[in-house]
């Protein structure tokens, strides 16, 4: 096998691994934006909040970052329900969610970012865990465990959510609220309550994604912004509200970025997601797996 | 007030500002005033698309940076003077606004917003990789030694920015009272109904996007000469975006006056706080104010004034009609 092919294979594999992790970041937006129609652009900032919680508990008490991420889903869920209550009260009820709702989430994004900057400064922070150093090598392909663990955990997260949406009453009600609010009321479910639960779930995924992020790479507060375009590109490409679609789109974007980074230099890779976003919006706004 | 009178008045205010600046001995105040006026341009430009049409642009930094870097590059290449660089930056950013609008504005408004957010990341990527303007290292801009007519170069820059601010406010006000502006307001209130009544929805939205982008780019053109050193990280600071969104929303989005009030208030406040406290804290305050205003005072300061004045209009449902009615009543 030539060196070139080996390099290509290696970048594809790492692209798939990173892509799986992107899916965990994007799934929250997929729920909020795709199913509930709430354009929560503050989601990446919440992910970084999750990362910094993992950082604090890891550096102070030596807790495992994934364990922290899992525990933090509970406060994040309640934070989400609180945010939705405010959002519903201030915007959805008045019908002003488009402009002022967007500005509201943008303000939250900004407050979170600047707040983290004031507390932690602009230095890169990282966590320590036994699985962050080692790496398996299969031929020319290297499998760093710090990438493998977020990938597997993300897959588990998505499968769990998919089962929840397909099998439980609440899950199905969340899928239904996007389609027909009135019919849902006739089935005996309150749309606002269902949306509150769904938004809580969406923000809860941010604490896990944040833990994965800080395992994968050191973080600093303003990083979230770079992920906004990427996450929405994945959601649009994957088809609004479709979890399998989100996963596949995330892997496509991850591989494309990884190949670009390997052959043209990492400074170009942020432009890839934007290219995908524009192409998806222009060619097929319903995404690869969208129903519309 | 007719358009002609308004233009005359706006020009007089501009002349008064420039005149007053010549009496200020401490150059720092002129610098600070430049900063505020730049935000008058940015907030007004944002409001033409965000307030009048209802399409939220989170890519102010991208447009500003395109204007900034095109000016820096052309100045390095051809040594063009600023009055030539400003229209070039305007045309360039107008074209970018038009292209962004053409690609995404036909879809739901929120896609336009997301695309503009992503645009700033992409423009930053390109600038960082563009060695001619220094890439990530940044570039120093030599100010020409002689400033035409005005004694100091800072005074000259201040004059240019005053012209831009006055011009953009006039543009906003003329749009607001024109058939074009009524069309935009109709789109904001109900796009389907507007289209059904024969408003050329797509064309109006695209023109608004182009004007808005062009004004933002023009505000960026003198900026490299103001800063004398530019580099990507600070040029793409989220502060420009959050301010240009917060200022119209705090001031009130339905009239040209709102962004001006917001820019003067928040801009002055930030200049004062940067000196007194720190620049991150003042950004935090802007973010908090933005959230408070969108929740508690959705129509901004102008809305608060109107409701205090006892004129019970509902600008939420039909702001333009409400405004015209109040104006008709007040004029004899």
Lowest mean pLDDT among A128-132, A154-158, B321-325: B321-325
Residues 6+ apart with CB under 8 A from A178: A34, A35, A36, A37, A241
Query: CB contact, 8 Å: B115 with chain A?
Result: yes
Report chain A residues whose CB lies below 8 A from the CB of B290: 103-104, 106-107, 110
Q: What is the mean predicted confidence (pLDDT) over B42-67?
A: 91
Chain B residue closest to A277 (CA)? B115
Q: What is the mean pLDDT of chain A?
A: 85
Rounded-to-integer distance, Cα B321 and Cα A79, Å: 40
Look at B286 and A86 and tell me if their CB atoms are within 8 Å: no
Look at B122 and A229 and tell me if their CB atoms are within 8 Å: yes
Query: pLDDT, tens digit, for every residue of B7-30?
Result: 888 888 888 888 888 777 787 888
Report chain B residues whose CB lies below 8 A from the CB of A277: 114-115, 118
Query: pLDDT, tens digit, for every residue of A160-187?
Result: 999 998 899 888 888 888 777 777 777 7
Considering only CA atoms, which of B278, B68, B314, B32 is closest in space to residue A95? B314
Question: How near does any CA of chain B get to the CA of A75, in Å?
Answer: 22
Residues 6+ apart with CB under 8 A from A156: none
Query: CB contact, 8 Å: B263 with chain A?
Result: no
Question: How near does any CA of chain B get to the CA of A264, in Å?
Answer: 11
Chain B residue closest to A86 (CA)? B295
Q: Which of B56, B114, B280 sits opposite A118 (nearest CB)?
A: B280
Rounded-to-integer distance, Cα B165 and Cα A131, Å: 57
Q: Which of A118, A267, A285 sits opposite B107 (nearest CB)?
A: A285
B 282-321 residues inside an 8 A Cβ radius of A:
283-284, 286-288, 290-291, 294-295, 298, 316
Query: pLDDT, tens digit, for every residue of A88-109?
Result: 888 877 776 677 888 899 889 8
What's residue B30's pLDDT?
85
Residues B107 and A252: beta-carbon distance below 8 Å: no
Contacts by residues B148-154 (CB-CB < 8 Å, ≥ 24 positions apart)? B151/B22, B152/B27, B153/B225, B154/B27, B154/B30, B154/B31, B154/B34
Question: How near does any CA of chain B get to the CA of A213, in Å?
Answer: 19
Q: What is the pTM of this model?
A: 0.86
Query: pLDDT, tens digit, for every residue of A29-40?
Result: 989 988 888 888
A70 or B3, which is more confident: A70
Residues B40 and B259: beta-carbon distance below 8 Å: yes
Query: pLDDT, tens digit, for every residue of B90-130?
Result: 999 999 999 888 887 777 678 888 888 888 888 888 888 88
Chain B residue closest to A106 (CA)? B242
Look at A102 and B56 and tell me if their CB atoms are within 8 Å: yes
- DSSP classification of residue A136: E
Look at A118 and B295 and tell me if their CB atoms are within 8 Å: no
Considering only CA atoms, which of B53, B39, B47 is closest in space to residue B255? B47
Look at B110 and A102 and tell me if their CB atoms are within 8 Å: yes
Rounded-to-integer distance, Cα B69 and Cα B235, Å: 9
State yes or no: pLDDT of B315 exceeds 50: no
Rounded-to-integer distance, Cα A63 and Cα A78, Å: 22
Structure tokens at B100: 């962004």
Give the length of chain B.
Answer: 332
Rounded-to-integer distance, Cα B319 and Cα B255, Å: 9
What's residue B259's pLDDT?
93
């Amino acid at each position: 096998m030539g060196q070139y092919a080996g390099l290509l294979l290696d970048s594809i594999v790492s692209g798939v691994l990173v892509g799986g992790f992107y899916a965990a970041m994007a799934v929250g937006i997929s729920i909020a934006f795709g199913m509930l129609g709430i354009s929560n652009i503050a989601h990446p900032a919440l992910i970084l909040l999750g990362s910094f919680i993992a950082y604090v508990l890891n550096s102070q008490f030596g807790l495992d970052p994934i364990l922290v991420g899992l525990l933090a889903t509970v406060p994040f869920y309640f934070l989400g329900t609180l945010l939705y209550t405010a959002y519903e009260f201030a915007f959805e009820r008045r019908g002003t969610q488009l402009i002022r709702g967007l500005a509201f989430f943008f303000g939250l994004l900004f407050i979170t970012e600047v707040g983290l900057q004031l507390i932690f400064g602009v230095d890169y922070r990282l966590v320590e865990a036994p699985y962050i150093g080692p790496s398996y090598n299969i031929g020319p392909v290297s499998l760093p465990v710090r990438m493998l663990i977020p990938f597997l955990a993300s897959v588990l997260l998505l499968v769990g959510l998919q089962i929840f949406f397909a099998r439980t009453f609440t899950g199905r009600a969340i899928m239904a609220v996007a389609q027909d609010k009135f019919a849902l009321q006739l089935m005996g479910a309150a749309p606002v309550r269902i949306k509150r639960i769904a938004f809580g779930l969406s923000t809860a995924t941010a604490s896990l994604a944040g833990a994965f992020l800080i395992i994968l790479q050191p973080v600093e507060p303003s990083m979230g912004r770079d992920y906004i375009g990427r996450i929405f590109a994945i959601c649009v490409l994957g088809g609004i509200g479709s979890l399998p679609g989100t996963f596949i789109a995330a892997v496509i974007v991850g591989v494309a970025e990884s190949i670009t980074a390997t052959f043209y230099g990492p400074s170009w890779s942020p432009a890839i997601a934007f290219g995908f976003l524009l192409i998806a919006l222009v060619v097929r706004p319903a995404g690869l797996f969208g129903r519309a | 007030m007719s358009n002609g009178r308004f233009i005359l008045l706006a020009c007089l205010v501009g002349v008064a500002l420039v005149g007053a600046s010549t009496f200020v001995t401490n150059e720092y105040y002129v610098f600070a005033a430049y900063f505020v006026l730049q935000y008058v341009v940015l907030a007004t430009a944002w409001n033409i698309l965000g307030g009048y049409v209802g399409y939220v642009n989170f890519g102010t930094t991208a447009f500003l940076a395109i204007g900034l870097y095109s000016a820096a590059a052309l100045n390095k290449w051809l040594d063009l003077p600023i009055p030539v660089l400003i229209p070039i930056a305007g045309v360039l950013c107008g074209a970018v606004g038009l292209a962004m609008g053409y690609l995404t504005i036909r879809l739901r408004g929120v896609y336009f917003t997301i695309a503009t957010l992503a645009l700033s990341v992409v423009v930053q990527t390109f600038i960082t990789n563009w060695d001619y303007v220094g890439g990530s290292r940044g570039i120093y801009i030599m100010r020409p030694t002689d400033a035409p007519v005005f004694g100091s170069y800072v005074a000259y820059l201040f004059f240019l920015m005053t012209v831009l601010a006055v011009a953009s406010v006039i543009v906003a006000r003329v749009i607001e009272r024109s058939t074009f502006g009524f069309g935009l307001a109709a789109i904001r209130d109900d796009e389907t109904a507007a289209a059904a009544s024969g408003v050329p929805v797509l064309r109006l939205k695209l023109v608004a996007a182009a004007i808005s982008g062009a004004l933002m780019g023009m505000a960026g053109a003198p900026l490299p000469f103001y800063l004398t050193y530019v580099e990507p990280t600070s040029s793409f600071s989220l502060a420009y975006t959050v301010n240009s969104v917060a200022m119209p929303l705090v001031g009130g989005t339905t009239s040209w006056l709102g962004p001006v009030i917001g820019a003067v208030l928040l801009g002055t406040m930030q200049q004062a706080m940067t000196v007194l406290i720190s620049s991150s804290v003042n950004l935090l305050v802007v973010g908090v104010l933005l959230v408070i205003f969108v929740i508690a005072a959705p129509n901004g300061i102008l809305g608060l004034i109107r409701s205090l004045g006892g004129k019970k209009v509902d600008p939420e449902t039909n702001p333009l009609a409400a405004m015209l009615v109040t104006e008709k009543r007040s004029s004899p």
